[in-house]
Amino acid sequence: MLVAGPSSSASAQGSGTVIDVVEVEGIIDQTIADFLRERLAVAADQDVEAVVVQMDTPGGLGVSMQEVVDVITASEVPVVTWVGPSGAQAASAGTYIAYASHVLAVAPATTIGAATPVDLGGDDLAAKAVNSAEARLVALARLRGRSEDFARAAVRDGAVVAVGDAPALPADALLPPGIDRDDVRILTASEAVDEQVVDLVAATLPDVLAALDGREVTVSGDGAPVERTLDVDTTDANVRFNNLGLVRRVLHTVANPTLAYLLLIGGTLALLFEVFQPGFGVAGVCGLVLLGLGLYGLSVLPVSWLALGLLVLGLALLAIDLAVAGLGALTAGGAIAVTVGSFLLFTGPEVLRVSAWVILPVVAFTVAFFVVIMTTVLRAQGTQALVGAESLPGKVGVVRSMLNPEGHVFVDGALWRARAPDGAGRVPTGTKVRVLGMNDRLTLDVELVEEPDSATVG
């Protein structure tokens, strides 16, 4: 990953003008925003004729979307957004980016629209958000000479337009969340262009390039708009395909709410598994990697930090109850906290939320991990060590999980369940104890080591 470049590219060599093709797929996040800004800057430096953004997105983050819109509207290089191939969509944030582009092309059987902002809480605040979003999209439509009526409807009513010749949407057509098929307006290619919803309809990328030749666009210049006529000869054009590099592809992938959530839970469980084991091994390393990727995903997604705190609290309660061998009220409270925190973790549109069909099995597995899996593992560790149990009395170990009054101690190379002496109260982690013997419950009876320097840890 470290040796991979920030982006990868391939080209169809030609001696004519240079066309950069940039693929944008999935959620619009900061990784995509940074990538597009970089490619447009490179295009401007290298005198590229046009940048074609091949888009298929269900939406994304408002901040990242606005950053992309600002970069496109200020670009000296013409930006062409092609919603394609067939089956692709430009929903929510994708609609704003498409309308900011100098040329908007779509493939047949694609959809565009559903730009209504999320209810941020309260009627007044929601109304202000809708008004602001409407003004922004209408301004982009006016700037590019596209339908202001569609821009208003896309924000106010969540309107969606599908481009195609069929009287109804295909059964496998993707739609933005909350949009019914009956609410989708279907336009033919000529109707979509005549009503100025889009600039052109092209089934393939070569068709897009062919349609660009001779098209007039207005780009940003030094202090004033500049009229340009695109010169794209498909017979000798040098088409360069630019994709996310390995590092950015990984970061863009983990900026998916479902994957970020799974990485967060998986990494935490792996680390907790390592905590209850002697030493630090594969589970700990994997846990750190998974948790790091999950935290990156959370850093770029709209997260309720209160819900994240509740999720962390729930996992902590489950771990504490396992450590003290309770598996009772704390486990129940932890399960509830994990469930509620999971459902409230992500804010924003539906596309940026985790499905209940993912959350419920994950919560069930998390509870089973502590109640069944970890309990079995700890019991097996104690059973394996019984062979040398007769040699334990008199040896000194270290408390690995608080004795309250029961917990775990690490002694003679193994992890044992132990019970604190009467009247000792809670014995914190890291305290040295001496083994007195083993009771009928296969639990070590221990005493506190008053002079740690005079004893050797077993």
Residue 211 falls within a domain, yes or no?
Answer: yes
Tokens of 458: 């077993």
Cα 439 to its chain centre, rounded Å, is: 50
Q: Using the 3D structure, point to which of 380, 401, 429 is the last residue of a domain.
A: 380
CB 103 within 8 A of CB 19: no
Quick check: 54 and 22 in contact, CB under 8 A?
Answer: yes
Residues 244 and 372 in one domain: no
Is residue 434 located within the same domain as residue 374? no
Evaluate whether 104 touches 199 at the Cβ level (below 8 Å).
yes
> Which pLDDT belongs to residue 383?
59
Give the end of a domain, one of 250, 268, 287: 250
One domain for residues 407 and 432: yes
Spans of the chain, pLDDT less than 50:
1-5, 119-125, 452-458
* Amino acid symbol at 58: P
Q: Are residues 79 and 186 in the same domain?
A: yes
Write down the pTM of the prediction: 0.72
Contact 38, 66 (CB under 8 A): no
Name the burial class of residue 183, with classes exposed (0-12), middle (13-18) and buried (19+) by CB atoms within 10 angstroms of its CB.
Answer: middle
Segment holding 255, helix H or strand E:
none
Q: Which residues of 48-59 are buried (b: 16+ CB within 10 A; e: fewer)?
A: bbbbbbbbbbbb
The Cα-based distances of 27 to 16, 31, 256, 353 in angstroms read 34, 10, 7, 12
Predicted confidence at residue 312, as pLDDT, reads 93
Q: Token pair for residue 146? A: 């596209």
**Do 342 and 398 reside in the same domain of the chain?**
no
Are 228 and 167 part of one and the same domain?
A: yes
Over the range 408-420, which residues count as b (16 or more CB within 10 Å of their CB) and which as e?
Answer: bbbbbebbbbbbb
pLDDT of residue 122: 40
Range of the domain at 414: 392-454
In a domain, 386, yes or no: no
What are the distances in angstroms from CA 426 to CA 1, 446, 449?
46, 13, 15
Residues in Cβ contact with 422 at an 8 Å cutoff, skipping those fewer than 6 apart: none
The answer to whether residue 310 sits within a structural domain is yes
Domain membership of residue 66 (yes or no) is: yes
Residues 106, 195 share a domain: yes
- The last residue of one of the domains, among 327, 355, 380, is 380
Identify whether residues 146 and 130 lie together within a single domain: yes
367 domain residue, yes or no: yes
Quick one: the chain helix, strand, coil %, rounded to 5?
A: 45, 20, 30
Q: According to the model, what pLDDT value does residue 392 have?
A: 81
Same domain, 217 and 273: no
Please report whether residue 2 resides in a domain.
Answer: no
Residues 453, 409: contact at Cβ < 8 Å?
A: no
What is the predicted pLDDT for the residue at 212?
92
Strands 414-419 and 432-438: unpaired
Where residue 400 sits, what CATH number does that domain have?
Answer: 2.40.50.140
Instruction: Return the closest-CA partner of residue 27 out of 361, 289, 348, 357.
Output: 348
3-class secondary structure per residue, 119-181: CCCCHHHHHHHHHHHHHHHHHHHHHHCCCHHHHHHHHHCCCEEEECCCCCCCCCCCCCCCCCH
**Shared domain check, 260 and 246:** no
What is the domain-level CATH number for residue 183? 3.90.226.10
* Nearest in space to 65 (alpha carbons), one of 55, 52, 76: 55
| Size of the chain, expressed as the number of residues it contains | 458
pLDDT, one tens digit per residue, over 423-453 is 888 888 889 999 888 876 668 889 888 754 4
Q: Is 194 exposed, middle or buried (0-12, 13-18, 19+ CB in 10 A)?
A: exposed
**246 and 260 in a common domain:** no
- Cα–Cα distance between 76 and 377 in angstroms, integer? 62
pLDDT of res. 172:
57
- Residue 30 shares a structural domain with residue 158: yes
- Count how many Cα atoms sit within 13 Å of the Cα of residue 76 in the half-sphere of its side chain: 12
What distance lies between CA 80 and its chain's CA centroid?
27
As a whole number of angstroms, the distance between CA 440 and CA 140 comes to 77
Say what the alpha-carbon torsion angle 341, 346, 347, 349 is, to the nearest 10 degrees. -130
Q: Quick check: is 1 in a domain?
A: no
Give 299's contacts (C-beta < 8 A, 6+ positions apart): none
Q: Is residue 124 part of a domain?
A: yes
Q: How many domains does the chain have?
A: 3
